A and B are shown apart, each in its own frame.
Chain A
Amino acid sequence: MIPMKPIIFAFAGKGGVGKTSLSAAFVRLLTEQYPEKKILAVDADPAVGLLTALGVEPRLTLDDIRMRIAESIDRGETADAVALLSEARFHLLDCIAERGNLSVLAIGRPEAAGCYCKVNAYLKQVLESAAGNYDFVVIDGEAGIEQINRRVMETVTNLVLVSDGSRKGLQVIRTIVRVAERLMPGVRTGAIFNRVRPAFDPAGQADLPPVLAVIGDDPRQTENDMRGDTVFDLPEDSPLFVGAKAALRALLAPEEADHAAV
């Protein structure tokens, strides 16, 4: 039994450690294990890899909306806050691609050079207003700590930190944990170690969040990627899928316990 309040998983960590593949595996597991629940997948990484991994393509991204509204304002059209919110709400539904119990939303990649502040502000607003419509939200975050630092992830309930066995990867997740403790009070954190060598032992590392799964190299995942297949084509016994399953089970156990206590 899962509680009614949305459970929001956000994946964070250094670039190139498999956040997108693991986010996609979580989405697949949730859609399959909870067919009666509504799941939202948010591609918050400007590289938009989650859309490819899920094989779902929304017509518009949130950045497309931002561009349209900015252009309208430049043309001298209304800039009233109420009107702008209505405009954003109008287009939001066009940004959500639906397949069965899964909805997919992409933040997009700003064409203009510069910072991502506005895009991140959109993400936060959308999460706050749309998340209540879903039982689960899975966010594939951008690499690093920017989205956490800017409080984009404030509504997240479970922060999944992904690292390989490298010193840099571990250092990034330690930094994210420190920032999250300050800016995301009450968030549950856990770590998935992906693409690690057999000798890697997370128990020997200090200041890490609880370990959810340790995953070695996964040739099946690599082949899947090479063929351009989606996560739904990944064999169930692939190490990445098995690891994601274990991590999801570990994260949902306390949620279920909370629900049982209520």
Chain B
Amino acid sequence: MRLFDDVIAGVNALLPGPPTKAAPYDPARCATDGEKDRILFRSETAFELGGGGKPSVCTVLFGDEPAESRVELYGPDLDAIRADQPFAHVTFARLRVSDGSAAHYEQIQKLGFTVFQVYPEGFLIRVSPMSGREQARVAKAAVECRPPLSLLNVGCSLIREFRKHPEIAAVRTAYITDPAFDYTALADLAAKARSITSALDRALGGGELDCAACKMKPVCDSVEGLRELHFGKEKTS
């Protein structure tokens, strides 16, 4: 899987030192499931990660890591947060088979949507695929109870959702709440990942065949494998 390699390397280089907390995936650690359409009202909310105009970033990257599923946290956990805070969430997913075919890439497009489909109780996640933002309202009840909800619990819930897809071999999900983290640099890398995904959409859909006229040209110029995927598909169709 070459498409996201540069972005993955860039994200790993940005992550600060060893994580504050980390744990291997354990289904027993998953958060209690909430209801899909449940709104967490302001009056029930302790704080919003990525809320109040603070930076927020979300991206899902498919590549050759990780070896085993695990959750990592960089920065304070929920019980140590008192107000709206910058927030980032990066998911690295490895597929069982990575053959570089068009079908394979269509599959990863769909698997990326898994991050929209996690509903832990007391933790209202909202994701904007178009802007690459993820925010989460955290219920007062979730941080005041004992033991309080941890991002490790939320991460295990997300990994459990990914593992429902048989194509998934392992998932590493990293939450960043450290106020000193470079969210702008991560947002740039997430934007690059989105542009790769958009170029993939175009390539898989047939799309423009004249590179000089295509607005995705800069993306294809910088990401190895995209152009051959596009024209390889055209040759067989």
Report the bound CA distance from A80 to B130 in whole Å: 11
Report the bound CA distance from A38 to B39 in whole Å: 11
- Annotate B90-122 by CB proximity to A: 1 below 8 A, 0 otherwise: 000000000000000000010001001000000
B interface, by DSSP: helix, strand, loop or mixed?
A: mixed
| Cβ–Cβ < 8 Å partners of B210 in chain A | none
Asked whether A77 is an interface residue with its Cβ less than 8 Å from the other chain, the reply is yes
Asked whether A166 is an interface residue with its Cβ less than 8 Å from the other chain, the reply is no
| Cβ–Cβ < 8 Å partners of B230 in chain A | none
Checking A69, A98, A132, A133 against B130 with a beta-carbon cut-off of 8 angstroms, the contacting residue is A69
Asked whether B70 is an interface residue with its Cβ less than 8 Å from the other chain, the reply is no
Report the bound CA distance from A72 to B43 in whole Å: 32
Asked whether A86 is an interface residue with its Cβ less than 8 Å from the other chain, the reply is yes
Report the bound CA distance from A90 to B116 in whole Å: 10
A interface, by DSSP: helix, strand, loop or mixed?
A: helix
Whether A87 contacts B129 by the Cβ 8 Å rule is yes
A82-131 interface (Cβ within 8 A of B): 82-83, 85-87, 89-91, 93, 96, 98, 100, 103, 129-130
Asked whether B133 is an interface residue with its Cβ less than 8 Å from the other chain, the reply is yes
| Cβ–Cβ < 8 Å partners of A85 in chain B | 116
Asked whether B127 is an interface residue with its Cβ less than 8 Å from the other chain, the reply is yes
Range for the number of chain B residues in contact with chain A: 20 to 34
Asked whether B146 is an interface residue with its Cβ less than 8 Å from the other chain, the reply is no
Checking A83, A86, A130 against B37 with a beta-carbon cut-off of 8 angstroms, the contacting residue is A130
Asked whether B32 is an interface residue with its Cβ less than 8 Å from the other chain, the reply is no
Q: Known contacts A77-B198, A86-B116: does B128 contact A38 (CB below 8 Å)?
A: no
Q: Known contacts A78-B198, A82-B113: does B39 contact A90 (CB below 8 Å)?
A: no
| Cβ–Cβ < 8 Å partners of A129 in chain B | 37
B159-203 interface (Cβ within 8 A of A): 194, 197-198, 201-202
A78-B130, A82-B116 provided; 6 other pairs, C-beta below 8 A? A68-B130, A76-B198, A86-B128, A93-B39, A93-B137, A130-B37
- Show the binding face of B for A, using Cβ within 8 Å: 37-39, 41-43, 109, 113, 116, 124, 126-130, 133, 135, 137, 194, 197-198, 201-202, 215
What are 16 A-to-B residue pairs whose CB atoms are below 8 Å?
Answer: A77-B130, A78-B130, A78-B197, A80-B109, A82-B113, A83-B113, A86-B116, A86-B127, A86-B128, A89-B116, A90-B128, A90-B135, A93-B124, A98-B42, A129-B37, A133-B41
- Show the binding face of A for B, using Cβ within 8 Å: 38, 68-69, 72, 76-78, 80, 82-83, 85-87, 89-91, 93, 96, 98, 100, 103, 129-130, 132-133
Q: Which 4 A-B pairs have the closest CB atoms?
A: A86-B116, A90-B128, A83-B129, A90-B126
